[in-house]
Amino acid sequence: MSGTAPDARPAPTVREVLSAATGNLQGLPDGSPRLEAELLLMEATGWPRTRLIAWPEQRLEPASLVAFESLLARRRAGEPMAYIRGRQAFWTLDLRVTPDTLIPRPETELLVEIALTQSEAGSRWRVADLGTGSGAIAAALAHERPRWLVIAVERSASALAVARANFTELRLSNCMLIRGDWLTPLAPRSLDLILANPPYVPAGDPHLTRGDLSFEPREALAAGAQGLDAIRSIAREAGRCLRPGGLLAVEHGFDQAPAVRRLFAELGLLEPQTRRDMAGQERVTLARAN
């Protein structure tokens, strides 16, 4: 009895898989197709990038190929790479992130830069990072200033769990986690510095339904009709919590700096001024307490 042998095609090679995936990822907003394809394949196989580069003719195991195709489908659907991989680089650190937290972004590193330039390396400041999310700002400061006590405040229990995991993984013993709403749980005149990357997108902004923002927690993005509700709440309490001459620094939208400076001045904060991010956009406004 004769028959036709089954079609036993060889498993695809690393080169073939990456080439096809790079083509499939074209057209995503702000995407880097080749790099993303490599990162997803590293995630699926557990291989380092050097292995992908050194052995492009290596063939994938079926389980790795299935895992890769699943990750690729998620990215094709627009899901941010940070959520797919569960990690995001920030400052000099590699942090855990989940859909319960915002994705740390390079422009937010300006807050860290400002904080570090305000004091000597051996200072013993008490610093609050409000709405800490993944703990990115707090972790960066605690890592750079081991003598500081960095208080990470967050009202979301699930986000606090992510921050706690990051602090534990990085062995940061000078971070304190507090569940609460902005400055409410903190004592009067107890802080040298307050930092915040609060929600500042106007509630009706169409960008909230596009790209990465559509996957991130809405409560960490939007803050009232003008996007200033959270900043107003923080500024109103900052004078109570800062020591005389203490500093408040808040990230905001590229077009909100004049409104934030006015708001700070109206609430009794001194010398409001704005710093620009790497793209030249007005990104962080700071002021001092009386």
- For residue 30, the domain's CATH number is 1.10.8.10
99, 28: one domain: no
Which domain covers residue 63, as residue numbers?
14-78
Please check whether residue 7 lies inside any domain of the structure: no
- For residue 271, the domain's CATH number is 3.40.50.150
β-sheet bridge partners, residue 173: none
User: How does pLDDT run along the chain (290 residues), one tens digit per residue?
Assistant: 444 445 567 899 999 999 999 999 998 887 899 999 999 999 999 999 999 999 999 999 999 999 999 999 999 999 999 999 999 999 999 999 999 999 999 999 999 999 999 987 788 999 999 999 999 999 999 999 999 999 999 999 999 999 999 999 999 999 999 999 999 999 999 999 999 999 999 999 998 998 899 999 999 999 999 999 999 999 999 999 999 999 999 999 999 999 999 999 999 999 999 999 999 999 999 999 99
* Whole-angstrom distance, CA of residue 187 vs CA of residue 170: 27
Please check whether residue 46 lies inside any domain of the structure: yes
153, 65: one domain: no
Please check whether residue 38 lies inside any domain of the structure: yes
Whether the full predicted model's pTM is greater than 0.75, yes or no, is yes
DSSP result, 194-226: EEE----B-TT-GGGGSGGGGGS-GGGTB-SSS
Rounded alpha-carbon distances, angstroms, from residue 107 to 189, 193, 236, 284: 29, 19, 25, 9
β-sheet bridge partners, residue 178: 153
